[in-house]
Amino acid sequence: MSNAANPPGDASAPRSPSSSAAPHSSDVSHSPHSTAVHDDRGRLGMWLFVSTEILLFGGLFLLYSAYRWRHHADFHAASMLLDRVFGTTNTIVLITSSLFVVLSIHWLRERRLGLAKLFLGLTLLCGLTFLVIKGFEWGHKFESGLYPNAPHLLSLPFGEILYFGLYFSMTGLHAIHVIAGMTVFGFVFRGMSKGTVTAERPIFLENVGLFWHLVDIIWIFLFPLFYLIS
């Protein structure tokens, strides 16, 4: 069970007692046991990070819900100013990118490096599409005088000012996460090309994948709460 991270076809693993007793056995990449333990630790660390991210956005969602409770009519009116087509498209784009990541991990584990790189590239393309759509959306808002501290925005009812404050900070923080995920995926892609991210050691790709799915989950909540207030 402990070496479950290694595919059964991996016959190159030395199992001699001398290798485990050697003091200079810092190179763990040839020992399936050490690799598996290492992967568990790395995965646990990533899940801990994911947990802190959930609490970070959880605090913002709590703020959102408290203000929405107080200013429900204003929140509804302000959400009517958002474009549902943009929001829905971006939801589908992000869900699809999550599928591509998980397919990339699958094909890497199946030792089909070309397919793994193809799907990672498609993920990056989806992330870029998301940001471009987001950019157009924010651009439209800016043009119609809706940006933080804009004179027009400040003339609106108090609840609508709060709504747009939350909208820009929460979707902005989310967009920063998308950019961060794409950046690190770039390093994963390079690792695949250089042979440091492989079927034996897919943890880098898997962990960034976990982060990317988290970003997807956050958007799953952001989308209906900002775009679909009925």
Partner 1 sequence: MSDSANTSEADATRVDHGGQSSHGSPRFYVAIWAALVCLTALTVTAASWDLGWIAILVVLAIAATKSILVLLGFMHLWWEDKLVIQLLIPIVLVTLTIFIGLTYTDILYR
Given the rule CB under 8 A, which residues bind partner 1?
1, 4-7, 36, 39-40, 43-44, 47-48, 50-51, 54-55, 58-59, 62, 65-66, 69-70, 84, 88, 91-92, 95-96, 98-99, 101-103, 105-106, 109-110, 112, 209-210, 213-214, 216-217, 220-221, 223-225, 228-230
Cβ proximity of 94 and 205 under 8 Å? no
Q: From CA 108, how far away is CA 211, in angstroms rounded? A: 18
Type of residue numbered 30: H
- Residue 142 CB, shortest distance to partner 1, in Å, is 25
Q: Is 217 exposed, middle or buried (0-12, 13-18, 19+ CB in 10 A)?
A: middle
- Residue 25 CB, shortest distance to partner 1, in Å, is 22
Name which of 150 and 180 has its Cβ closer to partner 1.
180
Q: Which of 84, 105, 92 is nearest to 185 (CA)?
A: 105
Name which of 8 and 195 has its Cβ closer to partner 1.
8
Q: From CA 58, how far away is CA 52, in angstroms rounded? A: 9
Name which of 36 and 131 has its Cβ closer to partner 1.
36
- Residue 22 CB, shortest distance to partner 1, in Å, is 27
- Residue 152 CB, shortest distance to partner 1, in Å, is 26
Type of residue numbered 176: I
- Residue 143 CB, shortest distance to partner 1, in Å, is 25
Q: From CA 178, how far away is CA 166, in angstroms rounded? A: 18
